[in-house]
Structure 1
Amino acid sequence: MKNNIDQYIRKCVENDREAQLKIYQLFSPVLYGLCLKYMRNEDDAKDVFQEAFVIAFQKIEQYKFQGSFEGWIKRIFINKLLETLKKKKKGVLFLDTFDTNIAEEEELELEPIEQEKLLEYIQELPDQYRMVFNLYVFEKMKHREIAALLEISEGTSKSNFNRAKNILKKKILTVLNSKTA
């Protein structure tokens, strides 16, 4: 499979439409899911998805076959998602708040819930909380890395993550309590 992907990438550098379609088909489910996690609605997710794919194909010659291609293309998508969210908020995304009662690497303990419902709850989070939550949980980034990427303090990253987590917990517990009542 890796050899096929490498061949498709080489052909994409030459603007081969069939190879571009193959790359699109192979990676679009994961990348569209990524867009849905960061954007508030499907229309915005679709817009960023298309724009990020265009950027990826424009920059594909920059991929040096070191590391995974999926990781490389995901980085392009994440950068486009963050850029889009920052533009929507005109640069005022984060309040520099420090919560001194933040557990460093506290596990997210939630009851099982339908994936679609969880995605809906994540989409409803305020932008700043959603970005930090997604980067930490789904992209496995450390708060130090998130802070550098988003140009915020590490304390703000931790605070926003914990606030996102608390909002999600409350929503999930409300749903679970209403089912058992």
Structure 2
Amino acid sequence: MTLTNQNIEQLLSLCQEGNQHAQMEVYNRYNKAMYNTAVRILKDSFWAEDVMQESFLIAFTKINTLDDLKSFGAWLKRIVVNNSIAEYNKTQKLNEVPLEGIMYKVADNDGLSHESQNKKEVKCIIEAMKTLKPNYNTGLTLHLIEGYDYDEICQIMNISYGNCRTMISRAKESLRKKLKLTVNKN
């Protein structure tokens, strides 16, 4: 039986033994999802790639500490989210401004199809989220896009349950106001 045909628990058992081929197969199965998680938080593909790679290294190094191999995906995602937030916070402290935030293209939006209109609306929402305060953006990304509940967000962001609910509520209201302004401009 080849590694590509084995189930994830079998592969993870091989990973615990240090099998590099099994590690590569696990990486191939999870890398796209983990990259997408990191890029949503970091908003930069190069940083997301680095954080994802580092997260896999951490996971494979500490895989023997994982009690239940069935929870590997959630455990790996938590590592990626924590590393992404740490990298994002480090970057914010350096006051770096990403180039994408400064440069933009103006596109002709006449005659848009329904699908491209939906893409335009999603892009508008994502752009509006980028203008939110960093903790609002992170909280909304974790809650609405990544699907974490309040308890998980509290642990990730190291805040109380009440603060989490208030922050997400205020973030949603702030996003609504920004989207209203955008709609009124167009």
Does the alignment reach a TM-score above 0.5? Answer: yes
**Aligned: 1:30 with 2:37:** no
Q: 2:13 aligns with which of 10, 13, 16?
A: 10
* Higher relative contact order (Cα pairs below 8 Å, separated by 6+ residues): 1
When normalised by structure 2's length, the TM-score is: 0.67
Stretches of structure 2 that go unaligned for 5 or more consecutive residues are: 94-116
Change beyond 3 A, Cα 1:145–1:25: closer
Deviation sequence 1:107-141 (CA, Å, 0-9, x none) = xxxxx943555444444433211222233232332
CA RMSD, Structure 1 to Structure 2 (Å): 3.0
Contact 2:12/2:69, CA 8 A, preserved across alignment? no
Letter in structure 2 aligned against 1:139: G
Change (3 A) 1:2 1:141: farther
Distance 1:156 1:119 in 2: 23
1:26 Cα shift? 0.9
Instruction: Return the match for 1:62 from 62, 65, 78.
Output: 65
**Equivalent residue number for residue 96 of structure 1:** none
Identity of aligned residues (%): 29
Q: Tell whether 2:144 aligns with 1:141.
A: no
- Aligned-partner Cα distance in 2 for 1:117–1:12: 42
- Where do 5+ consecutive residues of structure 1 fail to align? 91-111
- Give a deviation string over 1:85-128, Cα, whole Å, max 9, x none: 343456xxxxxxxxxxxxxxxxxxxxx94355544444443321
Could you say if the C-alpha distance between residues 75 and 2 of structure 1 is closer, same or farther in structure 2, counting changes exceeding 3 Å?
farther
Query: 1 or 2, which has the higher helix percentage?
Result: 2
Q: Is the 8 A contact 1:36 1:123 kept in 2?
A: no
